[in-house]
Structure 1
Amino acid sequence: MTIIEKGLNIAQTVAHGASRDYPYNHLIRQRPESYRISNPAPENTLDDLLSVINKDGASLKPFKSQLGIDKTEILKFYVAFADQHRLPFSENLTQILKQAEELVGTIEHKFREKGRPITITEQLNIALELFKGDLSKALINLAVATRAVARGCDTRLVPQIPTPPSRILNWQKVAAPFGFSPHDEDPAGDTYHFWEAMVLAISACERDGLYNRFTGTIAEFMGRITPEATEILRHKICRKEGKTHPEADILGFEIGKALALILPTSQ
């Protein structure tokens, strides 16, 4: 596939993502008093995640060279739910996601066991255990799986994750809130926005060679304008309902960039 074709695919997914309704939009709110634990404060998030990552000496595998997932594949996922368009996803990506349902189920089990929401630090710990310390696979699965169960709009990508309304509603209680908007909290939405922004940032930092530098610049630009672009394209132009998650987007993107700089890359 040429770079022009890849660019057209991204443009197509952006258009579909901005113009399509979310079938379960009415399920994405929970009352603030149901929260009993929050994610770490933004200034502590990197240290908290590193405490989990470093205990097993995890390193990042380059998404493209080792996992076969290039930036256009990440961007195609990032800009629209899988059920909003008909573009295919690569076999490399779908193979990595084979245990996505097991990841969600394990997080839900931990929620029932502890009787409280599960923080992003705990979610990462669960994912690293499931994927045997493979941080790249853990993060990609967290991004895809938490979004799938939060919105129920990614059945083409992860058909193994059933998302009846009851599960989507319960996931709002499973995912710990960030505390960005105490009176209008969407912990499930903030959670997947955080993870997918991390994945996009790490992918954007892979800049070996001219092509990767070019696509990395585009990926970083798109990551940084996500809230504004959503507001303009989806809410104002297409007049669709929805909620932006600027704090989660920014936090996830900056944490992802930091990890890409700090952690060793396995070759």
Structure 2
Amino acid sequence: MHTTLAHDTITAARATWGVASSPPMPRWREYMAWIDARRADAERFNPGEIALERSLIALVTGTRTDAPHDALPWLDGAAGPPSRRLYCALVSFVDDYDGPFPTELFPHDEVHALRLALRAQRRALTIDEQLAVALDHTGNRAFPAAILLHAVMRLVARDRDARALGGLDWEERLHDAACIAPFAPSVAGDGDPPGDTYHYWANFAVGFHAALHGRVAPRALGAAFYLGPIAMRWIREGVFGSELFAGAHTECDRMGLRHGRAVAGAITRSR
């Protein structure tokens, strides 16, 4: 136990340094030019916050399962991860630091199976539509669905988790990115749909975890992610001078946290 905790603490420190100090992704200007060219042509947007919350709750409470909702299906029904490992997985791209990372939160085969299933829908999918597809891959369990969606969206958005998931070529990334519906401009600001969406699912997972477990560490994790956009501005951009080329995704982060908590509460009440 103490050895595992020590190793996770070292990983957390490396991940924190990685997210604070790493440079922007390669070809980010070209990527954002592609994003900007598509903004005016967007035909589908994510629903508003209240409507989206209701849709998510209807999805997870209408598809009951006897398995624990916070189980990871690729771990044979084991309990959800410790907060420290969830932090390591969500706070930084695994290519931005050396050494171990939480491999159980980046299951290669499951992530790519879901990525291809999302692509097969042949339209720009909203958050609730993404969850509906992911639930089919996780035995109707909301938390692992969010974990898989986070990994898929982060791979498409930034392609900096190659140690865990392998890489995507440029055209494949853009093809997958076109299958992700944007948030409304009032929420997204200058953000990119894949980036906004992986931020949303990361925070959804944190909010769900914090609400379901309710102990000190999960709540501290929730507080840390609530403050994440501020830290990005002050530390990553201010101290290290790394360009936040798609903004800090603040509104998407906060919405994800709120929805994760709301969905966990609805699941708890429906048991």
Which residue does 1:247 correspond to in 2?
A: 251
* Greater relative CO, 1 or 2 (CA 8 Å, sep 6+): 1
Alignment of 1:66 onto 2:78: yes
For the residues of structure 2 that align with 1:154 and 1:228, how far apart are their CA atoms? 24
Q: Does 1:52 align with 2:59?
A: yes
User: Aligned equivalents of 1:140 and 1:120: distance in 2?
Assistant: 14
**Gap change, CA 1:52 and 1:207, over 3 Å in 2:** closer
Report sequence identity in percent: 24
* Letter of the structure 2 residue corresponding to residue 168 of structure 1: R
- Per-residue CA deviation, residues 5-57 of structure 1 (Å, 9 max, x unaligned), is 54443232111112112224231433312211011101211101122223312
- The 3 A distance-change label for structure 1 pair 128 and 198 is same
Question: Structure 2-normalised TM-score?
Answer: 0.84
> How far does residue 2 in structure 1 lie from its aligned partner after superposition?
5.9
Give the superposition deviation at 1:74: 1.0
CA-to-aligned-CA distance 1:201-254 (integer Å, 9 cap, x gap):
12223446xxxx231232012111011001111111000012210010000001
Alignment of 1:1-267 (within 5 A): 1=3, 3=5, 6-21=8-23, 22-26=25-29, 27-28=31-32, 29-31=35-37, 32-58=39-65, 60-61=69-70, 66-95=78-107, 97-111=108-122, 116-159=123-166, 162-181=167-186, 184-207=190-213, 213-242=215-244, 243-264=247-268
Normalised by the length of structure 1, the TM-score is 0.86
**Structure 1 residues 122 and 197, CA gap change in structure 2 (3 angstroms):** same
Instruction: Report the CA distance shift for 1:91/1:84 in structure 2 as closer, same or farther (over 3 A).
Output: closer
Tell me the secondary structure at the aligned position of residue 183 of structure 2.
coil
Structure 2 Cα separation of the partners of residues 8 and 232 of structure 1: 23
| Offset of residue 165 of structure 1 | 1.5
Distance 1:12 1:266 in 2: 39
Does the 8 Å contact 2:212/2:265 carry over to 1? no
Query: Structure 2: which 5+ residue stretches go unaligned?
Result: none
Alpha-carbon displacement from aligned partner over 1:156-214 (angstroms, at most 9, x marks no partner): 1222xx41111222333211011135773411111111111111112223446xxxx23
Q: Which moved more, 1:15-24 or 1:238-247?
A: 15-24
Per-residue deviation at 1:60? Answer: 1.8
Distance 1:23 1:199 in 2: 27
